[in-house]
A and B are shown apart, each in its own frame.
Chain A
């Protein structure tokens, strides 16, 4: 079946602009995660959804970052007033139930560049 997909694959924006990054999880997966991977680093957890609700958003760096998953499937990560330090690869992952034993399946990521 289809894996996790993310669009766009690349996004270049100017400092101060607003961006939206989209994630399509594996069909039927109730758990969805967003991570951010900076150059030379491992992925860093941002937010976790169980169904439509954000069960844990402790990883969001500040209030410029927001994510939604209105129908429990597709999720959008929204970044307001982008800064150069937001440049990174944003990864989305989904798992069947969200239990720790479940495998998280990752998408290819969206590379965000803020000029």
Chain B
């Protein structure tokens, strides 16, 4: 069965500093990988996704993520965070068929210090 691990429960970053959120997955083949953001009172919003091709994918709000097959990782990055980036971030994997839904990690809570 596929699984997703987000090792950091909380991360605190100063506004304007760079950010990297870690995600490791367990799946036999190349999975479909996603990053979602959840703000208080808001639904989950897709930041970016990876299926194949270029391993560095660009998303919305200035986020990017890099797929590294050798490390089974799909880390999310942003060069300079803004106070509005404070939220819960979820990494998710799909086996590719869509039929069994997404498997999510437990999330990383991002806190932005002024």
Asked whether A and B interact, the reply is yes
Q: Which of B67-75, B76-84, B99-107 contacts A (4 or more CB under 8 A)?
A: B99-107
A32 to B105, CA, bound (A): 21
* Residues in A neighbouring B98, C-beta threshold 8 A: 31, 48, 95, 97-100, 102
Interface of A is mostly: loop
B63 within 8 A of A: no
**How many residues of B are in contact with the other chain, CB < 8 A?**
27
> In the complex, how many angstroms separate the beta carbon of A109 from the nearest chain B beta carbon?
7
Known A42-B90, A42-B107, A43-B90: A104·B102 in contact at CB below 8 Å: yes
Interface size class of A (residues with CB under 8 A): 20 to 34
- Can you report 15 A-B residue pairs in the complex whose CB atoms are below 8 A from each other? A33-B102, A42-B90, A43-B90, A45-B101, A48-B100, A56-B100, A59-B100, A97-B98, A98-B98, A99-B97, A100-B51, A101-B32, A101-B51, A103-B46, A105-B46
Contact of B32 among A46, A100, A108 (CB under 8 A): A100
Residue A41 at the chain B interface, CB threshold 8 Å: yes
Please indicate the chain A residues that have their CB under 8 angstroms from the CB of B42 in the complex.
108
Knowing A42-B106, A100-B95 are in contact, say whether A58-B100 is a contact too (CB < 8 A).
Answer: yes
Q: Please, which residue of chain A has its CB at the minimum distance from the CB of B101?
A: A45
A43-B104 in contact given A101-B32, A103-B49 (Cβ < 8 Å): yes
The interface residues of chain B lying within 8 Å CB-to-CB of A90 are none
Please determine whether B105 and A55 come into contact, CB atoms closer than 8 angstroms.
Answer: no
A115 CB, nearest partner CB in chain B, Å: 23
Name B4's closest neighbour in chain A (CB-CB).
A42
Q: Which residues of A contact B (CB under 8 A)?
A: 3-4, 31, 33, 35, 40-46, 48, 50, 55-56, 58-59, 91, 93, 95, 97-109
B44 at the interface (CB under 8 A from A): yes
Task: State how many angstroms separate the Cβ of B28 from the closest Cβ of chain A.
Answer: 15
| The one of B41, B97, B100, B102 that contacts A108, using a Cβ cutoff of 8 Å | B41
